[in-house]
């Protein structure tokens, strides 16, 4: 076979593989969207009766509204705590303690090495079982979620800090008679604002979509959106699909915002 023919056959195979991959990725969410906008889909290969009734029911259901509000509150608290602690630790490591950066890089790997289920079960055994429920499970949920979100803050800010010459900025500030704290507050933090905002949105999105820890720790009067979405499948698949579609839409909007902020360059 000639080299050009071989390249053409390889290109066709590559395009075919890409097309199959796209179908495998897009088809499942597409079926969920069709199911959410149909009255029924059990008598034929195609959905029947386009409708928005399932979305209307979701907005009228007080259970969905309460779970959404609790999810937003817990996600905001966790993202704020993770963002504040992660930003302070990462800045301190890059500015004044290079050895601390290696420790933070290691800590950022732990949430991926230890499954959240193990963390949640261990916390239940220690704080709820061992201490007799001395710690409120809602506070425990926020405190457990914070270290799980830390890698998002640390990695995002570290990538932004690597693009900045911090030593030059600090030296320039010292030359002008400014203390390092003033340079960080007036120069470094404004330059990092897009990265901080992107990290905050990532933390907020990840906390809102958390399932394993929320399913183990919270329930009943503290039910969150993801566990409730899972429970709706047993009662109404259409409503569950509609809720998933709304979640897809929110995730898409936040992903676009994070991408825009990540692409922003300091002036």
pLDDT, tens digit (0-9, with 9 covering 90-100), for 120-169: 777 777 766 665 556 677 888 888 888 888 888 888 888 888 877 777 77
- Whether residue 210 sits in one domain with residue 158: yes
Total domain count, the chain: 2
- Whether residue 46 sits in one domain with residue 68: no
Query: What pLDDT shows up at residue 264?
Result: 56
pLDDT, tens digit (0-9, with 9 covering 90-100), for 195-225: 888 888 888 888 888 877 877 777 667 778 7
- Whether residue 172 sits in one domain with residue 141: yes
- Whether residue 126 sits in one domain with residue 83: yes
Domain for residue 156, yes or no? yes
Q: Are 121 and 216 in contact (CB under 8 A)?
A: yes
- Whether residue 214 sits in one domain with residue 161: yes
Structure tokens at 257: 């915002």
Domain for residue 204, yes or no? yes
- Whether residue 92 sits in one domain with residue 8: no
Whose tokens are 């009255």? That residue is: 39
Q: What is the pTM of this model?
A: 0.74
Q: Are 199 and 152 in contact (CB under 8 A)?
A: yes
- Whether residue 162 sits in one domain with residue 67: yes
Domain for residue 158, yes or no? yes
Mean pLDDT of 25-36: 77
Query: What pLDDT shows up at residue 220?
Result: 67
- Whether residue 186 sits in one domain with residue 110: yes
- Whether residue 254 sits in one domain with residue 134: yes
pLDDT over 50 (residue 50):
yes
Query: What pLDDT shows up at residue 15?
Result: 73
- Whether residue 259 sits in one domain with residue 212: yes
Domain for residue 105, yes or no? yes
- Whether residue 246 sits in one domain with residue 153: yes
From 50, 71, 89, the end of a domain falls on 50
List the CATH number of the domain containing 171: 1.10.3720.10
Mean pLDDT of 3-25: 67
Domain for residue 238, yes or no? yes
Name 248's bridge partners. Answer: none
The domain in which residue 109 lies consists of 60-263
**Residue 211, Cβ neighbours under 10 Å: how many?**
15
For residues 40 and 245, give the distance between their C-alpha atoms in angstroms, rounded to a whole number. 16
Domain for residue 55, yes or no? no
How sure is the predictor about 7, in pLDDT bands with cuts at 50, 70 and 90?
very low
- Whether residue 152 sits in one domain with residue 25: no
The mean pLDDT of the chain is: 77
pLDDT, tens digit (0-9, with 9 covering 90-100), for 80-108: 998 888 888 888 888 777 788 888 888 88
Half-sphere exposure of 209 (CA within 13 A, CB side): 16
Domain for residue 228, yes or no? yes
What percent of the chain shows pLDDT beyond 70?
85
């Amino acid at each position: 076979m000639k080299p050009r023919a071989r390249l053409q056959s390889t290109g066709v195979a590559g395009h075919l593989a890409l097309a199959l991959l796209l179908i495998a990725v897009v088809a499942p969410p597409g079926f969920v969207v069709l199911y959410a906008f149909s009255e029924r889909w059990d008598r034929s290969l195609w959905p029947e009766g386009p409708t928005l009734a399932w979305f209307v029911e979701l907005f009228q259901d007080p259970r969905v509204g309460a779970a959404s509000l609790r999810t937003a509150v817990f996600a905001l608290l966790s993202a704020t705590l993770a963002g504040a602690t992660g930003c302070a630790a990462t800045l301190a490591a890059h500015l004044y303690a290079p050895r601390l950066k290696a420790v933070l890089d290691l800590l950022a790997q732990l949430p991926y090495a230890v499954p959240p289920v193990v963390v949640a079960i261990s916390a239940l055994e220690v704080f709820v079982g061992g201490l007799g429920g001395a710690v409120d499970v809602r506070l425990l949920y926020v405190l457990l979620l914070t270290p799980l979100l830390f890698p998002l803050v640390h990695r995002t800010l570290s990538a932004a800090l690597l693009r900045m010459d911090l030593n030059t900025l600090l030296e320039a500030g010292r030359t002008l008679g400014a203390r390092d704290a003033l340079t960080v507050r007036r120069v470094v933090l404004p330059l990092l604002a897009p990265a901080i905002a992107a990290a905050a949105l990532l933390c907020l999105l990840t906390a809102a979509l958390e399932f394993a820890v929320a399913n183990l720790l919270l329930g009943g009067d503290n039910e969150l959106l993801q566990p409730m979405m899972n429970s709706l499948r047993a009662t109404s698949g259409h409503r569950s699909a509609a809720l998933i579609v709304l979640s897809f839409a929110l995730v898409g909007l936040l992903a676009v915002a994070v991408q825009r902020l990540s692409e922003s360059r300091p002036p």
